[in-house]
C-alpha cells in the first residue's frame, strides 16, 4: 500500500506545484474506482455525442457513474463513493429549503421601502403606486381572458361558432388595449417602472435575486430536459474534453524505489490528508523496483451548479445542519466541499526486480495487489531493457465479478493483534486523583475481515469487551463498484501484507494447458496485446478461477486451467469485442483460435487514485 500512497503523493505534489487554488484539497481514493472509456463518454452532454446509439445508452447508464463522480466528501482525509452525499441532491435541497422562494415573493416589498415614489414616510404605498398596482391588475385580468378565449378555438365546429368567436376576440382585445391605456394614464405606469428600474440597477438584493433565479432556472431546466431520468443533471463537461480519445492532457511518470520510499515517508510524517489507518498498512513491496504510470488531472464542470448566490448576505439557511464553515470537511455539514478534479492514472506497470520468482507471478492460487488494484498474473518483459513488469487488470467484468470477491475473502487469513481501550476494573481505579494508566484489551482479528484495502466487500468483525469508545476514522473498501456506505474501524492497527497474497483454497494438480491464438479475420495477422479475460462458471466457487492475460507478438498465449466451463472475453483497441464460452473437459492440451473483426472502438480504462475537492467558503446561517 505504501507505494500506492507514494504515487498519489507524487501526483499531489505535481498538482499543487502547478498553481492549485487556496481552497483545493487533494484527497486520496483508497478503494478501487475504475472507469472504462465508454463509461465516461456517456457522461458528456448529449450535444457532444455524435452517435445516436450512445445518446440513448447515456440516458440509461450514466446515472450510477454520475453518482460516484458527484459524491461530496465527508472526510478531510480521503475521498470515496458515498451515495448519500450526491451533489445534485444536496444542491436541490439548498434551492428548495433556503429563502430563495420567499425572497422572490418579498422582493417587491424590499424595493418599495427604499423609494419615496413607491413608499411614503409610514412605509405605506403612495397613491401613485396604489394606482399602478390597481390598473396593472386590470390589465393582467384582460390578458387572462384573452388566453382563456384562445384555448376554446379548437372546440369550434361550425362557421357560425367561429364567427362569434372572432367577434368575442376583437372585443376582448379592445378591452385589453383600453386597460393598457388606463394603466399608462391613470396608473402612472412609466413613472413607477422607471423608478423600479433605477432601484433594481443599484440593488444588492436585485443581484442576489438574479443569481438565485439563474441557479434555480439552470437546475430546473436540467431536470426537465428528460422528465423520466433527469439525465441532464448527470452531464459533466470534462477538461481536457478529449482525454479519452487521445493523449491530450496525459503525462508519463516513473518512480524508482528510493523515490517512492522518500515519498511514502514524507506522506507518513507530514500526514498530508491521509488516513492514519491507510498509512499504517505496511505491505511487503520489496520486490517492486519501480512504477511506471500515465496520469492526467481532469476537471469536472457542471453547467447547472452555481455557488455564488449562497455567498450573498441576503441568502438565508435555517435548517439544523449548516452548509459549510469554510474549514471543516465532515458529514456534519450539508456541503463542505465539491468534487472538482479527477486524478486519473492509466497504463500502470509494476517493474519487478530479479528477486521475484516468475512462478509467484504465474501462480493461479495467489492474488497480486498494488494498493486496491488487482494485477494480471502474467509476467511481461520489455525487450529493449529486459525489465520485468506486471500490468493492472482493466476488465470491469472481472473486477465486478462475484468470483473475485469470493477469492479475496478466501485469501490466507493473517491474524493481527489490535489494542482496543478497555474499561478498568473498579478496584484498580485511582483514589488519589493521579492519572490512571490506560488499560487495553488485545484481540486477534483476521486482517481480511477488517474493511481494509484488500477486502472486496465491507466486512467488519471485532470483539470489544466493555470498550471505551475509540477514536474512529472512516475508511472505504476497494473493489466494490456498487454503491456502499463507508464503515469504520479502530485506530492503532498495524498490518503487514505482501503483494502476492495466497488464496486459501485447495491446490489443483490436474490442469489443462490451453493455448489461445488471436488473429485478424481478414489477413490472419496475429493480434498483439489482445486482453483475454477468463472467468470460471462452475457452480462450485472453490473450483473456479479468474485469469486476465495478454497475447504475445505471435498473437498467442497459454494458460493452465482446471477442468470446467469458462466465459472468455477478448478486447483490444480497433477491434470489436469478442465473447465466447469454452469447456475444458480433460487435462489434455487445447488450442483455441479466434478471429477478431476490425472496428473503430477504443477500450481504455482509467483508475481514480484521488479527487481534488474544492472547499466551500463559509456559508453563515441567518
Is the predicted pLDDT of residue 570 greater than 90, yes or no? yes
- Selected residue with higher pLDDT from 212 and 450: 212
First vs last C-alpha separation in the chain? 46
- What is the model's pLDDT at position 254? 94
What are the two backbone dihedrals, phi and then psi, of residue 538, each rounded to the nearest 5 degrees?
A: -70, 155
**Alpha-carbon distance 189 to 198, whole Å?**
14
Whole-number pLDDT of residue 403 = 81
Predicted confidence (pLDDT) at residue 296 exceeds the cutoff of 90: yes
Contacts of 336 (CB under 8 A, 6+ apart): 72, 73, 74, 324, 325, 328, 329, 330, 615, 616
Say how far apart CA 477 and CA 485 lie, in whole Å.
9
Nearest to 528 by CA among 519, 538, 515: 519
pLDDT-based confidence at residue 112 (cuts at 50, 70, 90): low
Q: Looking at domain 511-602, which CATH architecture does it have?
A: Sandwich (2.60)
Of the pLDDT bands very low, low, confident and very high (cuts 50, 70, 90), residue 55 is low
Q: What confidence tier does 107 reach under pLDDT thresholds 50, 70, 90?
A: low
Do residues 235 and 44 make contact, with C-beta atoms less than 8 angstroms apart?
yes
Q: What is the mean pLDDT of residues 40-44?
A: 82
Find all residues with CB under 8 Å of 366, minimum gap 6, and list them.
Answer: 360, 377, 500, 501, 502, 503
Residue 77: closest CA among 618, 486, 606, 492: 486
pLDDT > 70 fraction of the chain, expressed in percent and rounded: 75
Q: What value does the mean pLDDT take over residues 43-67?
A: 70
**Residue 441 confidence (pLDDT):** 42
Looking at residue 494, its pLDDT comes to 42
Q: Tell me how far apart the alpha carbons of residues 212 and 310 are, in angstroms, rounded to a whole number.
A: 8
**The pLDDT of residue 227 is above 50:** no
Please tell me which of 268-282, 316-330, 541-555 the model is most confident about, judged by mean pLDDT: 316-330
371: phi > 0 → left, psi -120 to 50 → alpha, else beta; which?
left
In DSSP terms, 109 is beta-bridged to none
In a 10 Å sphere around its CB, with 0-12 CB exposed, 13-18 middle and 19+ buried, how is residue 12 labelled?
Answer: buried
**Cβ contact 142:179 at 8 Å:** yes
> 288-301 and 380-381: which strand pairing?
unpaired
Contacts of 577 (CB under 8 A, 6+ apart): 569, 570, 571, 601, 603
- 419-470 pLDDT, tens digit per residue, is 433 433 333 333 344 444 444 344 443 433 333 332 333 322 222 333 333 3
Instruction: Specify whether the CB–CB gap between 608 and 39 falls below 8 A.
Output: no
Put residue 19 in one of left, alpha, beta given phi > 0 → left and psi -120 to 50 → alpha.
left
Which of these, 264, 466, 508, lies nearest to 363 by C-alpha position? 508
Q: With a cut of 90, say whether residue 287 has pLDDT above it.
A: no
Mind giving me the DSSP string for 476-516?
Answer: --SS--S----EEEES---EEEESEEEB-SPPP--EEEEEE
- Would the pTM count as exceeding 0.75? no
Confidence grade of residue 105 (pLDDT, cut at 50, 70, 90): low
Write the pLDDT tens digit of every residue in 483-509. Answer: 333 334 333 434 445 678 888 777 777
Amino acid at each position: 500500500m505504501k507505494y500506492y500512497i507514494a504515487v498519489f503523493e507524487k501526483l499531489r505534489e505535481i498538482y499543487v506545484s502547478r498553481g492549485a487554488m487556496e481552497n483545493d484539497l487533494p484527497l486520496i481514493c483508497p478503494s478501487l474506482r475504475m472507469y472504462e472509456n465508454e463509461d465516461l463518454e456517456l457522461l458528456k452532454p448529449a450535444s457532444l455525442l455524435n452517435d445516436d446509439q450512445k445518446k440513448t445508452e447515456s440516458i440509461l447508464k450514466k446515472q450510477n457513474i454520475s453518482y460516484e463522480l458527484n459524491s461530496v466528501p465527508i472526510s478531510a482525509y480521503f475521498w470515496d463513493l458515498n451515495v448519500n452525499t450526491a451533489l445534485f441532491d444536496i444542491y436541490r435541497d439548498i434551492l428548495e429549503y433556503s429563502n430563495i422562494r420567499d425572497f422572490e415573493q418579498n422582493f417587491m416589498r424590499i424595493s418599495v421601502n427604499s423609494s419615496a415614489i413607491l413608499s411614503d414616510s409610514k412605509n405605506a404605498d403612495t397613491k401613485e403606486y396604489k394606482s399602478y398596482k390597481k390598473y396593472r391588475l386590470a390589465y393582467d385580468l384582460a390578458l387572462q381572458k384573452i388566453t382563456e378565449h384562445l384555448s376554446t378555438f379548437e372546440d369550434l365546429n361550425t362557421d357560425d361558432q367561429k364567427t362569434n368567436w372572432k367577434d368575442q376576440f376583437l372585443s376582448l382585445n379592445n378591452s385589453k388595449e383600453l386597460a393598457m391605456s388606463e394603466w399608462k394614464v391613470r396608473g402612472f405606469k412609466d413613472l413607477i417602472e422607471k423608478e423600479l428600474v433605477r432601484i433594481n440597477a443599484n440593488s444588492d438584493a436585485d443581484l442576489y435575486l438574479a443569481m438565485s433565479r439563474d441557479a434555480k432556472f439552470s437546475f430546473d431546466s436540467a431536470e426537465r430536459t428528460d422528465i423520466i431520468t433527469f439525465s441532464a443533471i448527470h452531464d459533466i463537461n470534462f477538461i481536457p474534453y478529449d482525454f479519452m480519445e487521445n493523449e491530450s492532457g496525459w503525462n508519463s511518470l516513473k518512480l524508482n524505489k528510493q523515490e517512492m520510499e522518500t515519498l511514502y515517508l514524507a506522506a507518513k510524517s507530514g500526514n498530508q490528508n491521509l488516513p492514519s489507518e491507510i498509512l499504517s498498512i505496511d505491505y511487503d513491496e520489496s520486490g517492486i523496483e519501480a512504477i511506471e504510470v500515465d496520469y492526467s488531472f481532469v476537471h469536472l464542470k457542471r453547467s447547472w451548479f452555481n455557488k455564488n448566490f449562497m455567498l450573498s448576505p441576503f441568502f438565508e439557511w435555517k435548517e439544523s445542519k449548516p452548509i459549510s464553515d469554510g474549514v471543516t470537511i465532515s458529514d456534519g455539514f450539508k456541503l463542505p466541499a465539491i468534487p472538482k478534479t479527477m486524478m486519473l492514472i492509466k497504463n500502470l506497470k509494476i517493474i519487478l526486480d530479479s528477486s521475484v520468482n516468475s512462478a509467484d507471478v504465474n501462480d493461479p492460487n495467489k492474488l497480486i495487489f498494488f494498493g486496491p488494484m488487482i494485477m494480471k498474473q502474467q509476467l511481461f518483459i520489455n525487450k529493449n531493457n529486459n525489465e520485468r513488469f506486471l500490468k493492472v487488470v482493466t476488465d470491469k467484468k472481472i473486477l465486478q465479478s462475484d468470483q473475485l470477491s469470493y477469492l479475496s475473502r478466501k485469501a490466507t487469513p493473517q491474524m493481527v493483534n489490535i489494542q482496543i481501550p478497555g474499561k478498568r476494573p473498579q478496584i484498580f481505579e485511582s483514589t488519589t486523583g493521579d492519572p490512571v494508566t490506560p488499560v487495553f484489551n488485545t484481540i486477534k482479528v483476521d486482517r481480511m475481515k477488517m474493511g481494509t484495502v484488500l477486502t472486496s466487500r465491507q466486512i467488519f468483525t471485532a470483539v470489544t469487551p466493555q470498550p471505551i469508545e475509540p477514536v474512529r476514522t472512516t475508511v472505504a473498501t476497494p473493489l466494490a463498484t456498487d454503491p456502499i456506505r463507508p464503515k469504520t474501524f479502530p485506530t492503532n492497527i498495524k498490518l503487514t501484507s505482501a503483494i502476492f497474497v495466497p488464496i486459501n483454497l485447495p491446490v489443483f494438480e490436474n490442469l489443462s494447458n490451453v493455448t489461445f491464438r488471436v488473429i485478424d479475420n481478414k489477413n490472419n495477422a496475429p493480434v498483439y496485446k489482445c486482453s483475454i479475460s477468463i472467468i470460471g462458471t462452475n457452480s462450485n466457487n472453490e473450483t473456479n478461477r479468474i485469469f486476465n492475460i495478454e497475447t504475445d507478438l505471435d498473437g498467442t498465449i497459454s494458460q493452465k486451467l482446471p477442468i470446467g466451463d469458462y466465459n472468455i472475453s477478448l478486447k483490444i483497441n480497433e477491434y470489436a469485442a469478442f465473447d465466447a464460452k469454452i469447456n475444458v473437459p480433460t487435462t489434455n492440451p487445447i488450442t483455441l483460435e479466434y478471429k477478431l473483426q476490425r472496428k473503430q472502438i477504443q477500450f481504455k480504462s482509467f483508475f481514480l487514485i484521488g479527487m481534488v475537492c474544492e472547499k466551500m467558503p463559509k456559508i453563515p446561517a441567518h
